[in-house]
Chain A
Amino acid sequence: MTEPKATGIGVIKDWILAKHESRTDVGPDEDLIENRLVDSLSFVEFVFLIQETSGVEIDLDCLGINDVRTLATIEKRFLAG
């Protein structure tokens, strides 16, 4: 049996886990930035992924860092609805 393909916030979580082999899970309220799960250079790719997954257009020039700090915030801000 294969795992069902992730959707929504699961896509974001899978992307993070793929980049950090030592991790098996990311908590919904875990600070992705303080914990260095997303760094300054992977940030752009990360934001594009949120954009692609949510269909919400995100302007990198205006994005507040707190909008993407945890999986819970990302879900609420971009994926709820």
Chain B
Amino acid sequence: MDDISYTAQWTAAARALESERADGLIRDDYARHLAEPRGFELLDRYRGAAVSDFIAVRTRYMDDALTRVLGHTGIRQIVLLANGMDTRTHRLDWPEGATVYEVDHGALLAEKQSRLAALVVEPRVRTVPVKADLAGDWLEALKSGGFDTAQSTLWVAEGLVFFLTEQQVGQLLETVAGACPPESWLVVDMTSATLLRHPMTQPFLRSLREDGTPWRFGTDQPEEFLSDHGFAVRDLRQPGEAGAGAGRWPYAVTPREVRGVPRNWLISAVTKA
């Protein structure tokens, strides 16, 4: 498996630990099986930057956002972009008639499928794996898998865009926005430009660079960035706020007007008309 797939094991390890906490925000019974062989080692390597807490809060925010959007919109076409070892297809409740497309590297999709099959668990929704590289022409591959550009869609990009360049993120967003009708939804997380340049985060960022999976993109103006690339933000929270791990996040939330603070953004947005 390539480097980016090891980061999928890393986040799976964080989800496994969260699932085993009495006050855990999420329950992913498969995560421990998907975190091998390197997930827990990476969790230890990248510790000290609240990574596990962040992954727990982010996973729960995205679970809730996804459920909320599907509950009130009637959207039945869902695309999970590079969702790695995420098991939402196996652990969430899905509405009747939903189809989930999982777009990721072929090797990773195959590995996840075989590990889940070994646990004798079936997805709880019609799931279509789409082998593609998000840096390539993934939309054609998605369409070949049955994706319908005329249908309103819910897109989920979790733990993805910090691995891309700003230009790649812009392009990805525009491709997504152009591939579905207005009022389609995107649930995404982003880090801040301040986090990428903050002296306190440099050891963590250096480890990621050394491992061949550098974080490249962050923005301090997520609303503007998304708007420039076809999306209107409907909900934006920082970890620790209500609906984003309040009471569980172990840090104080700093108001947005305070400059120089490393931040992460949890976002639900819609495609603009």
Q: State the A residues within 8 Å of B (CB).
A: 33, 36, 38-45, 59-63, 65
Contacts and interface: CB of A to CB of B under 8 A. Distances in A.
A12 to B, nearest CB: 16
Main secondary structure of the interface of B (DSSP, over half): loop
Contacts of B199: 65
Contacts of A65: 199-200
Contact residues on B (Cβ < 8 Å of other chain), bracket: 10 to 19
Interface stretch (B84-92, B122-130, B171-179, B256-264): B256-264
Contacts of A61: 259-260
A26 B260 CA distance: 27
A45 B260 contact: no
Contacts of A33: 200
Interface of B: 47-50, 195, 198-201, 204, 251-252, 254, 258-262
Contacts of B252: 44-45
Contacts of A60: 258-261
Main secondary structure of the interface of A (DSSP, over half): loop
Contacts of B262: 40-41, 43-44
Given A40-B204, A41-B49, A41-B251, A59 B198 contact: no
A63 B105 CA distance: 42
B258 A44 contact: yes
A65 B203 CA distance: 13
Among B195, B260, B262, max chain A CB count under 10 A is at B260
Nearest to B259: A61
Contacts of B251: 41-42, 45
29 contacts: A33-B200, A36-B47, A36-B48, A39-B50, A40-B48, A40-B49, A40-B50, A40-B195, A40-B198, A40-B201, A40-B204, A40-B262, A41-B49, A41-B262, A42-B251, A43-B200, A44-B252, A44-B261, A44-B262, A45-B251, A45-B252, A45-B254, A60-B259, A61-B259, A61-B260, A62-B260, A63-B260, A65-B199, A65-B200
